[in-house]
Amino acid sequence: MQTRHVAFSLVALLAVLLLALGLVLSQASLSALDEPGRLETYAATRAKRFVVARRAREASSKPRPVLPNPVAIGGMQFRGRCAPCHGLDGRTASEIGRWMYPRASDLGSAPVQEWLDAELFWIIKNGIRLTGMPGFGKVLSDEEIWPLVDYIRTLAPPKDAQSTSQPPEATDARERRWRPR
């Protein structure tokens, strides 16, 4: 008798879960024009952070090359490869980037600047599937990707009001290279 009660309860629970899943899926939109909900954004962001952090740790064994004026090199690469989505300033998405799903990131924003350099490198090199972020690892060498990381660091807002007059190329982006978590 008790086994039947447990079995019936499990079947009823499964039916309720399937109904709830059906309801959620019926409300889901595949349109890139619709803004995602908070739950979807939260879940996607947490999953992305977890996977990228793990992959970047696995792949960060190579030493970082030392290049003359990496920010200027990265700026040139950025204008040619990244600006079509992230905008010329890296902070205001282009028409293309504004209507991607997810939207092209503001590269000066706190969520982007919180990534470790090794994580940004991994993202640029490998891309992130189903986000519109392509991987450049087949067209750029590691030595060409690192200056992009340095350039992205210059897009962070100044730490104080006095440094607003200083051009982004003048700041040293390498200070955040291996920031511990």
Mean pLDDT across the chain: 84
**Which pLDDT tens digit goes with each residue over 133-167?**
999 999 999 999 999 999 999 999 987 644 444 44
CB-CB contact of 124 with 86 (8 Å)? no
**Tokens 């590691």 appear where?**
142
In this predicted model, which residue has the larger pLDDT, 85 or 32? 85
CB-CB contact of 177 with 117 (8 Å)? yes
What letter does residue 163 receive in the DSSP assignment? G
pLDDT number for residue 134: 95
Q: Give the mean pLDDT of 47-53.
A: 94
pLDDT number for residue 165: 46
* Residue 17 banded pLDDT, cuts 50, 70, 90: confident
Residue 169 phi, psi (nearest 5): -65, -20
Q: Give the mean pLDDT of 37-52.
A: 90
Tell the burial category of 20 from Cβ atoms under 10 Å away from its Cβ (0-12, 13-18, 19+).
Answer: exposed
**Which pLDDT tens digit goes with each residue over 101-137?**
888 999 999 999 999 999 999 999 999 988 899 999 9
* Residue 173 banded pLDDT, cuts 50, 70, 90: very low
